[in-house]
Structure 1
Amino acid sequence: MKRLLPLSLAFALACVGTATAASAPPGTRGQVLGDGVGYVSVVRLEHQPDAAANGHMLMVFERDGMAGIPLYESDDGGAHWRFLSNVTDQAHGKDPRWQLRWQPHLSELAKPSADLPAGTLLLGANATGDDATGRLVAEDLQMYASTDGGRSWRYRGSIVKGGGNPSDKDNHGVWEPNIHRLDDGRLVAYYSSEDHKDAGFNQLLAHKVSTDGGRTWGEEKVDVAIPGGVERPGMAVVDRLPDGRYVMTYEDIDGPNNGQVYLKISADGLDWGDPADRGTPVRTAAGAWPAASPIVRWLPWGNSPGVIAVVAERAGGDGDPSGRSIYWNNDGGRGPWWEAEAPVQKLTGNIHAGWTQALLAMPGGRLWHATTSSTAAEPEDARKNVVMYADAPARFDRYEAEDAVRRWSVRIGDRTASNGAKARMASAPGGQLTFPVHVPTGGNYRATVRWQDLGFTPAVPVLRVNGAVWKTTDHTDRDGWHVATASGSLREGDNTVVLEGARRPADIDYVQLDPASGR
C-alpha cells in the first residue's frame, strides 16, 4: 500500500518503565498503550530456552518519527505493558537519513532455522532512506534476530530493496515483510513490490526464500499479480492451518471492490497458484466484506478445523466502515463468513488507524486484540493515533442476523444489538433470513434467537432448520429484546437455518447455536 502521510522527522519518544494507560478516546473501547500510527504486531512466547519466559508477550508497531521500531513487553497476559527499547537500523552505518520505521512483523521460531535456534525472535521491518532534503527516496526490507527474548537484536540481512517516494507514480517501493519458517527449516518472506510497473503491474505480491537463516535471500517468486496496471494487491499476511496448509489474506486496492480482502490457500507456503487468480473473497452471505490492511489468524475453537479469522481497517458492502468486526469462518474458508465484535472498538478517521492489527488466541478461550485508533478530537491526523488493546471471550457460535441472506429485510445499526447491528425483517409471507451454517460435529443443539417486536403485538418469528420447524419458547430479555429458544438436531457439516416472518415485522439480532451438552 502506498503511504499517503508524510511522517514527521522531528518526533522521537523514549519511554522508560511501565506504560500507563491513558483514557480511551470517546466512542472506543479498550486500554490505551500510547501514541502509535499503525501496524501492530504481537507474539506470545512459547519456545524460549528459559521456560519462565514462555507466556510473555512482545509488541511492536509504527510510531511517528525516526527513533526506530518501539518494542514493548508484557508478562501478565497482555494486561500491562512496559517499554523495552527502540529497534534501530544497523545496516547503514548510523546514517541519520536511514531508520527502521515501517511495517514491523514479529514472529518466533518454533524450530531452528540454519544457525538460529528454536525460540529465536524474528523482526522484519521496512527501513527507509531520505535524500539530503529529507524526502523519502528508498526502502530496504530488513530482518533482525534476537536470542535473548527481545533484549538485544542483530541485523541478519536485507530481503529486498526498493526506491522512490510513495507519492511518486513511478516509484519502485517495497513494503510489508511477513516472515515465516517452512517445515524444512528455510525462511520465507512475503512482501509487496512496486518494481514491476514496466511489466504492467501497479503492485504485486511476491516472496523470497532464505536457506541461511535470513542472511541472504533467493530469487523473487510472484504470488499475486493482476495485469492491467491499475490494481494494487498488497499487505499479505500468512498463517498456518491445522492440516498443514498455509492461508494468506491481502487487500486488492483499486480492484472491482476497492480494498476487498481475498483469501488464498497454499499446500507448502510457496505455490499460491495462478498469480492472476485473486482467490476467494472474504464476505458474508449478505454481502459485507472486510477491506484494507487485513490480517488472518487461525484460532482454535470447538472441534477441528477451528476458525479462520480476519480483521481489517474498514469494511465494504453494508459492513461497518470503522472495521470493528472480526470476520470468521469455521469451514476452512469455504462458504459465507460471519461477524463477531472485536475486543477493541476503534475509530477509523484516517487510513492508518486499524492498519494491520494483532489477534491472539489466549488461554481460557479468550481473544487478545490490539490495533490503532484515531482520536475523536483530531481523527484525520494519523500522528495522533493511539495503540489500543483488550481481551474478551472468543465467540464463534453466534450468527449475526445482519450477515444472513436477507429477503424483505434490511440491516440497521443498533447499539443494544450484538455487534452493533440487527436485521429488520418484514412480516409473513415476505420476510425471511437464511443462515447457511457449518458445524463440525452433528448432534443435538440448542438454538437461541434474540429478537425484538416493533411496538406491535409480539409475534415470535418462525425458526426452521433444514426444513423442519423447531418449536420455540420465548421470554423477555433486556433493552426490550426477547429471547426465543429451541432444541433439535443438526447434521455434521452444512445446515440451513431459516427465520421466517410471523404476522408482525420484527428485528432480529442473532441466532446462536450451542451443543445441547455444552461446550
Structure 2
Amino acid sequence: MQFTRPRPRRRALLAAAALLAGSLTAILPSSPAAAVTTGNGSLVYSPAAGSSFDPAGTTYAKVIALKNNGQYNGQLLVTFDQLIYVNGVQVYPIYRSTNGGSSWSLVTNVVPSQTFPTLTLTSQPYLYEVPQQVGSLAAGTILLAGMIMPADRSSSRIVVYKSTDRGSTWSFLSTVDTGGPATYDPSPSSTTTTVWEPAINLDSSGNLVVYYSDERQKASGVLQAVVYRRSTDGGATWGAVGNVAAVGNQSDRPGMITVARMGNGQYIATYEVVNRPSQSLNTAPAYFKLSSDGVTWPAGLGTPITLADGRGIGSSPMVRWIPQGGPNGTVLVSSKWGLTSAGAISGGQHFYANYNLGQGSWERLPYAVTYDASDTQGGYFSGFAQGFDTSPDGLTLYQATNVENTSTGYNDIRVGTIPTAAQYYEAERATLSNVQTVTHFDASNGSKIGNINFSNSYVEFNVRVPSAGSYTVNVRYDNGTGANSSHAVSVNGGAATSISYPPTVDWGRYRWAQLTASLNAGNNTIRFTYSGTYAELDMIAVYQTSTAMPAEFRVVNRSSGKYLEIANGSTADGAGAVQYGFVGNPRQVWRIGTSSGGYFYVTNKNSWKYLEIPSASTADGTQAGQWGPTSNATQEWSLVPTTSGYYNVINRNSGKYLEVYQNSQADGAVVDQWGSTGCTCQQWRIAKEGIQ
C-alpha cells in the first residue's frame, strides 16, 4: 500500500555493491544468547531527531537468521528503508547480531548509487539467504533486492545485490525489471507504470524467482498486478513476466507480495489488495493464493486471510512457513494492522497463524514487538512492511519492525522474539478471584483480565508439564499507568516473588514480561496477585529454551463443533474417547508429537496417555481410547489435511478414520473408527488459540 502524498516509495529490496562505512574486518562465530522478549525487543537503530527527510524515519524492516553458513548459523542480519541521506544519497544499512538479537552493529551500507550514479533513492529492501546451489550462487549467499530511483522519482528499477561473506560486502548481481515514475495513484483513472516491492524465493525446480508489483498492465484494466520473473542462471538474466494475481476490473490493486514454500512442497503467496473493501475505505486487506510450483498460480484475486469470526489483517503482509507449531508446521503472516469483519482498521498486534497449510480458518499469535498500528501515537507508518524469521533450530521467532519513538518523532527499528514451541494459557480461562474479564480486539483470544486491584485479587494459571524442571514463562500484559507496576507471583503456593511490568503506551497496547519457574511433573499453579500497583494480564507462554515442546491443540469435530476428550477426565488405561462441549480442562487438550514415517502420537494432556484403537482392532465402530505408550501402530495416526481446512485422522494400524459415531451431536457421544464415508463427522479441526 503506497503513501498518499508525494514521496519516495519505501518498499524495495535492493542490495548494493559498496561499503560506505563501518564494515567489519573480522566476523566471530555466533555464541548462544538469550532471545530478547522483554522491553518491546531490542533497539537496532534510532534516527536522530531532525535527521530524516520523511516523518516515518524508517520503514520496511527485514530480518534473516543465517541457516546455511556453517559456524555462522544463527547470526542475524537486518536491513530497512532508512529515510535519511548518507553523503547525499540513500543507502540500505546492514546490521548484524551475533548474540541472538541482544545487541546490533552496523556492518556496512549498501549504496546503489555507486552502481547507478543517477539513482540516489532507495526503497523496499528484502533479504534472502540462498538455501542451495543456484546457478553460480553458492548455498549461504545473501541476496538483497529493492527498488531504486532518481531523486525526481522519474523511473523505477528493481535490482538484486549479493554478498558471499554474510553481509559484510556486496556486489551488483542484476536488474530484474524497470518501470515508469515511482508515483502512487490507486485511482481507476491511474496511468502510472511503476514496478516495485520485490521479494525473493526459489521455485520447485530450484530457480531463483523475484516477485514484485507491476503497474504496466493498465491496457487490460489492471491497475496493478503482482507478478514474477524467473532466472534459470542464478540471477544473471531474467525470463518473461508472469502473473500471480491480476484483476481487470480497474479497481482491485494487489501489491506487496511475499511467497513461502510450505512443508508439503506447495507455495503460498500473500499480498495486500488496495481499494478493498472499497475505494473509499481502502484498508488493503491481506489475501493469499496457493501454487504447486511457485510460478503457476490460479486465476482471480485469491482468498482473504480471516479468523473464524471474519476479523482480518491488512497492509504490507509478509508470509513464512515454519516447521514448528503443528503437525504440518505453521503458516504465519504479519501485517501492519488488524481489520474488523467489515474491513475497518482495528488494532494490529498479532501474527495470523494457520495450521492446515493455508486452508481453513486462521488464528492469532501475539507479536513479539508491538507498535502504533493506526498511527495515532506520533510515529508515521509504524509496523509497515515488517519482517520475521526463525532461528536455525526453529525454536525462536525473530520479528523486526519499525516502532514509533515519541521523543524523536520518528520510528525506530526493533527486533523481538517469541518461542515457537510453547504451552499457552489464557488469563480469562484461569482461576480468578475478584477481577474482571475485559473484551479487547488485540488481546489473545479476544479477552484479558483487568481490575486486579484488590488484596484478594488474583489470576491463577493451572499449568501442566510432562517433566520437572526449570521453565521460562512469558507474560503478556498491559500497563497504562505511565509508571512501573508489578504483581506478586507464587508457584505451587510457595513464597511470592515480584514480576515487574514497565509501562505500555496505553491499556490496549501489550508487552511481554518474563520469569523463570521451577515446575513439577504434572499439575502446577502459577498465581499472579495484586501487590499495590496496576496491570492487566492477557496470557502466558510456558516453555524451555532448548527443548521443542510438542504442539498442543483442542481437536474439534466439524459436524458437531464439540471437542475430543477422554470421558470424565479419566487417567486409566482403556478409558474411552468421547466428544463434549468446551469445559476448559486439560482432558480436552492433546499433544501432537511426531512418531515416524509421517505419523503422529496424539497424547492427552490430562493423563499423558496415548490415543489408540484398543486391541489393535480393525473393525468399524471400535471406540477409541487411551493407553500408556506401547510403540504399537495402533497408537499412531496420520493427519491428512483437507482443502476445507480440516483433517482426516487415520489410524496407522487399521487405516480407518476417527469419527463421532453415527454423526451424533450429543455431549458424551462415542468417538470411534470407521472406514471413509465422506461424512463431516470424520473431519477434525485443530485449534490452539484460547487453549486453556
Paired letter, 2:73: N
Say whether residues 1:465 and 2:562 are aligned partners: yes
Say whether residues 1:353 and 2:376 are aligned partners: no
Q: Number of residues paired by the alignment?
A: 427
Local SS of the residue matching 1:39: strand
2: CA distance, partners of 1:252 / 1:423: 35
Structure 1 partner of 2:400:
370
What are the equivalent positions in structure 2 for 1:418-429 lying under 5 Å apart? 418=444, 421=447
Q: Which of 272, 281, 292 is 2:297 aligned to?
A: 272
Paired letter, 2:96: E
Segments of structure 2 that go 5 or more residues without pairing to the other structure are 10-19, 25-37, 47-56, 429-436, 451-521, 528-555, 571-582, 591-610, 612-638, 640-646, 649-658, 668-687
Deviations along 1:11-65, one digit per CA (max 9) or x if unpaired, are xxx87599xxxxxxxx9822222235211112211222xx322221111110103
Deviation at 1:270, TM superposition (A): 0.5
Q: 1:373–1:387: 8 Å Cα contact kept in structure 2?
A: yes
Local SS of the residue matching 1:198: helix
* Closer/same/farther in 2, CA of residues 511 and 8 from structure 1, 3 Å limit: closer
Deviation at 1:311, TM superposition (A): 0.9
What are the equivalent positions in structure 2 for 1:312-461 lying under 5 Å apart? 312-317=335-340, 321-348=346-373, 349=375, 352-362=381-391, 363=393, 365-376=395-406, 384-394=410-420, 412-413=439-440, 418=444, 421=447
Q: 1:401–1:423: 8 Å Cα contact kept in structure 2?
A: yes
2: CA distance, partners of 1:86 / 1:342: 28
2: CA distance, partners of 1:92 / 1:489: 57
Say whether residues 1:63 and 2:82 are aligned partners: yes
1: CA distance, partners of 2:424 / 2:383: 24
Q: Which of 107, 112, 115 is 1:84 aligned to?
A: 107
Q: Which deviates more, 390-399 or 120-129?
A: 390-399
Say whether residues 1:151 and 2:172 are aligned partners: no
2: CA distance, partners of 1:15 / 1:8: 24
Deviation at 1:511, TM superposition (A): 3.1
Deviation at 1:189, TM superposition (A): 0.8
Local SS of the residue matching 1:511: coil
Local SS of the residue matching 1:136: coil
Local SS of the residue matching 2:68: coil
Paired letter, 1:465: K
Q: Which of 247, 259, 270 is 1:249 aligned to?
A: 270
Q: 1:341–1:419: 8 Å Cα contact kept in structure 2?
A: no
Paired letter, 1:204: A
Query: Could you tell me the TM-score, scaled by structure 2's length?
Result: 0.55
Deviation at 1:471, TM superposition (A): 5.9
Q: 1:359–1:368: 8 Å Cα contact kept in structure 2?
A: yes
2: CA distance, partners of 1:229 / 1:365: 44
2: CA distance, partners of 1:401 / 1:317: 23
Say whether residues 1:114 and 2:293 are aligned partners: no
Deviation at 1:8, TM superposition (A): 8.4
Q: 2:268–2:358: 8 Å Cα contact kept in structure 1?
A: no
Paired letter, 1:146: S
1: CA distance, partners of 2:2 / 2:229: 21
Deviations along 1:125-163, one digit per CA (max 9) or x if unpaired, are 111113xxxx32111000111112112111111111111
Say whether residues 1:296 and 2:312 are aligned partners: no
Q: 2:444–2:690: 8 Å Cα contact kept in structure 1?
A: no
2: CA distance, partners of 1:158 / 1:8: 19
Local SS of the residue matching 1:285: coil
1: CA distance, partners of 2:236 / 2:394: 39
Q: Cα RMSD (Å) of the superposition?
A: 3.9
2: CA distance, partners of 1:320 / 1:472: 42
Query: Could you tell me the TM-score, scaled by structure 1's length?
Result: 0.73
Q: Which of 238, 248, 251 is 1:227 aligned to?
A: 248
* Closer/same/farther in 2, CA of residues 210 and 28 from structure 1, 3 Å limit: same
Deviation at 1:272, TM superposition (A): 0.9
Local SS of the residue matching 2:219: helix
* Closer/same/farther in 2, CA of residues 180 and 375 from structure 1, 3 Å limit: same
2: CA distance, partners of 1:364 / 1:194: 37
Structure 1 partner of 2:207:
186
Structure 1 partner of 2:13:
none
Percent sequence identity over aligned pairs: 29
1: CA distance, partners of 2:588 / 2:107: 54
Q: Which of 73, 84, 90 is 1:54 aligned to?
A: 73
1: CA distance, partners of 2:138 / 2:335: 33
Deviation at 1:401, TM superposition (A): 11
Q: Which of 116, 120, 123 is 2:144 aligned to?
A: 123
2: CA distance, partners of 1:187 / 1:353: 31
1: CA distance, partners of 2:347 / 2:126: 23
Structure 2 partner of 1:511:
690
Deviations along 1:430-473, one digit per CA (max 9) or x if unpaired, are xxxxxxxxxxxxxxx99x9x9xxxxxxxxxxxx99348897689
Paired letter, 1:359: F
Q: Which of 2, 25, 41 is 1:30 aligned to?
A: 41
2: CA distance, partners of 1:364 / 1:184: 25
Q: 1:366–1:393: 8 Å Cα contact kept in structure 2?
A: yes
Say whether residues 1:285 and 2:308 are aligned partners: yes
Structure 1 partner of 2:679:
none
What are the equivalent positions in structure 2 for 1:9-28 lying under 5 Å apart? 16=22
Structure 1 partner of 2:505:
none
2: CA distance, partners of 1:252 / 1:419: 26
1: CA distance, partners of 2:90 / 2:305: 37
2: CA distance, partners of 1:106 / 1:470: 51
Deviation at 1:271, TM superposition (A): 0.3
Deviations along 1:257-307, one digit per CA (max 9) or x if unpaired, are 641111111111010111xx2222211111110111001111222453111
Deviation at 1:170, TM superposition (A): 2.3
2: CA distance, partners of 1:309 / 1:105: 17
1: CA distance, partners of 2:588 / 2:4: 54
Deviation at 1:183, TM superposition (A): 4.2
1: CA distance, partners of 2:690 / 2:336: 26
Paired letter, 2:108: S
Q: 2:63–2:399: 8 Å Cα contact kept in structure 1?
A: no
Q: Which has a greater percent of strand?
A: 1
Local SS of the residue matching 1:111: coil
2: CA distance, partners of 1:207 / 1:393: 33
Paired letter, 1:373: V
Deviation at 1:313, TM superposition (A): 0.3
Q: 1:71–1:87: 8 Å Cα contact kept in structure 2?
A: yes
Deviation at 1:209, TM superposition (A): 0.9
Q: 2:445–2:690: 8 Å Cα contact kept in structure 1?
A: no
Deviations along 1:313-349, one digit per CA (max 9) or x if unpaired, are 0011169734210110111112211112110011131
* Closer/same/farther in 2, CA of residues 209 and 374 from structure 1, 3 Å limit: same
Paired letter, 2:79: V
Structure 2 partner of 1:456:
none
Paired letter, 2:386: Q
Deviation at 1:367, TM superposition (A): 1.7
* Closer/same/farther in 2, CA of residues 194 and 386 from structure 1, 3 Å limit: same
Deviation at 1:255, TM superposition (A): 2.3
